[in-house]
Structure formats: C-alpha cells, structure tokens
Amino acid sequence: ILNVEQSPQSLHVQEGDSTNFTCSFPSSNFYALHWYRWETAKSPEALFVMTLNGDEKKKGRISATLNTKEGYSYLYIKGSQPEDSATYLCASWGEKLTFGTGTRLTIIP
C-alpha cells in the first residue's frame, strides 16, 4: 500500500443496523492513524487518533481498531442512527499526514 485507501467509497445502511468500513495505509514509517467525521456542509471533526498496534478506541456507538503491522484500521458503528450519516475520513501520519478519500455513509430511516 503506497497511499491511504478507504473502502467502500459509499454505503447505505438501514437505521438500527451495525456497519464497518476500512482504512488501509502504508505500514512503513507509521506514527499515527486519525479518523474524522465529516458532515455535509460542515468541516471534518476528529473522532480518534490511534498509534499502537492493537489499539481500540470507542466513543459512544462508534469504535475503531488498528493493525499497524498489516496497515489497516476498521471503524465500526453499532446500531446506526440517522445522525451518523456523514463521510468518514481516515488519515495516516507517516512521513506526512495523508488523507484517504473517505467513506460516505447514509443511514436509511
């Protein structure tokens, strides 16, 4: 992996269902992995910053895990709500901070 890649690009989830998506990043020269939540017409807001292999972070119904050896992070949302609709960005800090293109999540009421 040379760049930061996120999958899927977009996702529609029924309200109440749980979901997850992936951020892949270069595992060499790794310092930290950031997750941001970006609502339409607003600016990105930080969710988590993770640094250690095996790190798990949780904020309410949202959690994230980190695997620095294989270069991926998962973001999980449990019991999706309409207010979870947003684009979720990850960014890897190695030699520089590089953002992925995001996963656009839409929750269907």
Least separation in angstroms between CB 47 and another protein: 10
Number of Cβ atoms within 10 Å of the Cβ of 105: 21
Q: Which residue has the tokens 């947003």?
A: 86
Based on the shown chain and the rule CB under 8 A, indicate whether residue 75 belongs to the binding site for another protein. Answer: no
Among 21, 44, 77, 80, binds another protein (CB under 8 A): 44
Least separation in angstroms between CB 79 and another protein: 27
Contact between residue 50 and residue 102 where contact means Cβ atoms under 8 Å apart: no
Based on the shown chain and the rule CB under 8 A, indicate whether residue 46 belongs to the binding site for another protein. Answer: yes
Based on the shown chain and the rule CB under 8 A, indicate whether residue 27 belongs to the binding site for another protein. Answer: no
Span between the terminal Cα atoms of the chain, in Å: 36
Residue 109 to residue 106: CA distance in whole angstroms: 10
Among 23, 75, 86, 89, binds another protein (CB under 8 A): 89
Q: Three-state SS for 39?
A: coil
Residue ranges binding another protein (CB under 8 A):
31-32, 34, 36, 42-46, 49, 51, 89, 91, 93, 96-97, 99-102
